[in-house]
Structure formats: structure tokens, C-alpha cells
């Protein structure tokens, strides 16, 4: 089954269709996610299987927020896309965007001749039934960008719209305090730490004192 996913297409930036279908995310499903058995230590593989089960449970009933937090190349994007593909099969509207690309698209609406207005683009994102924000990096975030992200997440927070976010632990510590307050609300958001070795041989980031935040029942 091939499932389209709405996402940013890096191949043709600046055009309205870049906010449409990006086919290579179709293969990122729970079925194609590897627990890396035999590749990493048995305990790490076991933790990864437990994480997958928790993310699958969220995908079955995505009525809150989910944050996938961990180092680079540990499977955060794959699991987030797997949730998106699962939800799309139920006919819901899903937006899957890399945060840096989302901000670029919002800025592009101010250019002369833009085929889409800022309000249209902004509302497409904040009102989607499920929004996946991939790679919430703080490396080059401006005050304007922080404000836009807060406006999007604050709207979804008060509207009760399902949201999935991937972020590194390093970027988590540098988050704007308003954003962190939303993501730290355990009544709304579940934070799952993916503390396994990188696919590319980099050790996992050290676990923070608050390793995992669970949603309240």
C-alpha cells in the first residue's frame, strides 16, 4: 500500500507544490523500522522495541502530543513518519514538515508573486488534524522563528490537535521557555527518549535527569 504524505519537497523550493506530496516518506512505516537486533547491544535493542510499541500505541489513538527526543540518526524521523502514514490511512489530514523548511516556506510567502499567502500557509500547518514537526533545531532560530513556532504550537495546544515533534536532547535544553512549557505539560504531551546508539556509530546523547515524561492517564 502506497500512502501519500504531505511534506516539504527539497527539490523545487519556492513553488507552491513544494508543500505537497513527498513520496520517499511512504516507506517509513512501523513495518520497515528495524529494532537493530544483532547490530546493537541486546538491552539497547530491547529498549528500541519497547519504544516502537509505545509509538505504535500513540498512532492507534493520537489524541495528544508526542515528542521523540534523542541523538542524531537514532530513528526519530522514521518513527514520526510511521505515525503519519498510519494516521493517513484513516483519511485524516496530515502535515509532515522539517521545521527549518517550514520557516523557509513561511518567509517565502512574503516574496512578490508568491502563489500562496502567509495566512493560507500558516493555517495549513496549524490547523492540520495531525502535524509532524521534524527536527526542531535551535541552531539558527531567530526571535521571529521562535514566535511563529510558538503561535503554531500554542494554537494546537488550546485546540487539542495531535502533534508529533522530533528533537535532539541538545536542542531540547536550548528551547524557548514558552515552547518548553508546552512540551513539558504531562497532561498533554508524552516525551519518549530514544537512548540508543546512532545508525552512524555515534554514541547516544547522555540522558537528562528527566529521562521520560509520561502523559497523565
Cβ neighbours for 190, distance < 8 A, ≥ 6 positions apart: 54, 58, 64, 65, 66, 67, 213, 214, 215
Mean pLDDT of the chain, nearest integer: 83
CB 147, CB 42: distance < 8 Å: no
CA dihedral 36, 42, 46, 49 (to 10 degrees): 10
For a pLDDT cut of 70, what percent of the chain falls above it? 80
Domain residue spans of the chain: 16-194
Domain 16-194, second-level architecture: 3-Layer(aba) Sandwich (3.40)
Residue with cell 483519511: 91
Q: How do residues 166-204 score in pLDDT, each as one tens digit? A: 999 999 999 989 999 999 999 999 999 999 988 865 545
Give the pairing of strands 163-167 and 130-134. Answer: parallel
Q: How do residues 2-45 score in pLDDT, each as one tens digit? A: 333 444 433 334 444 445 344 568 899 999 999 998 888 999 99
Q: The pTM is what?
A: 0.82
Amino acid at each position: 500500500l502506497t500512502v501519500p504524505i504531505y511534506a516539504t519537497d527539497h527539490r523545487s523550493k519556492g513553488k507552491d507544490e513544494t508543500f505537497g506530496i513527498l513520496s520517499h516518506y511512504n516507506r517509513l512505516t512501523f513495518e520497515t523500522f528495524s529494532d537493530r537486533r544483532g547490530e546493537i547491544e541486546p538491552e539497547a535493542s530491547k529498549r528500541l522495541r519497547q519504544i516502537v510499541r509505545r509509538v505504535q500505541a500513540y498512532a492507534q489513538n493520537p489524541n495528544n502530543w508526542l515528542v521523540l527526543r534523542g541523538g542524531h540518526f537514532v530513528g526519530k524521523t522514521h518513527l514520526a513518519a510511521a505515525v503519519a502514514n498510519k494516521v493517513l490511512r484513516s483519511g485524516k489530514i496530515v502535515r509532515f514538515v522539517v521545521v527549518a523548511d517550514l520557516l523557509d516556506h513561511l518567509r517565502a510567502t512574503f516574496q512578490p508573486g508568491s502563489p500562496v499567502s502567509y495566512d493560507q500557509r500558516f493555517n495549513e500547518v496549524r490547523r492540520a488534524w495531525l502535524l509532524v514537526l521534524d527536527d526542531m533545531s535551535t541552531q539558527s532560530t531567530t526571535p521571529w522563528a521562535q514566535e511563529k513556532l510558538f503561535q503554531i504550537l500554542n494554537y494546537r495546544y488550546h485546540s487539542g490537535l495531535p502533534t508529533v515533534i522530533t528533537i535532539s536532547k541538545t536542542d531540547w535544553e536550548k528551547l524557548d521557555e514558552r515552547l518548553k512549557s508546552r512540551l513539558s505539560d504531562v497532561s498533554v504531551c508524552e516525551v519518549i527518549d530514544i537512548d540508543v546508539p546512532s545508525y552512524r556509530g555515534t554514541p547516544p546523547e547522555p540522558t537528562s535527569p528527566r529521562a521520560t515524561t509520561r502523559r497523565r492517564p
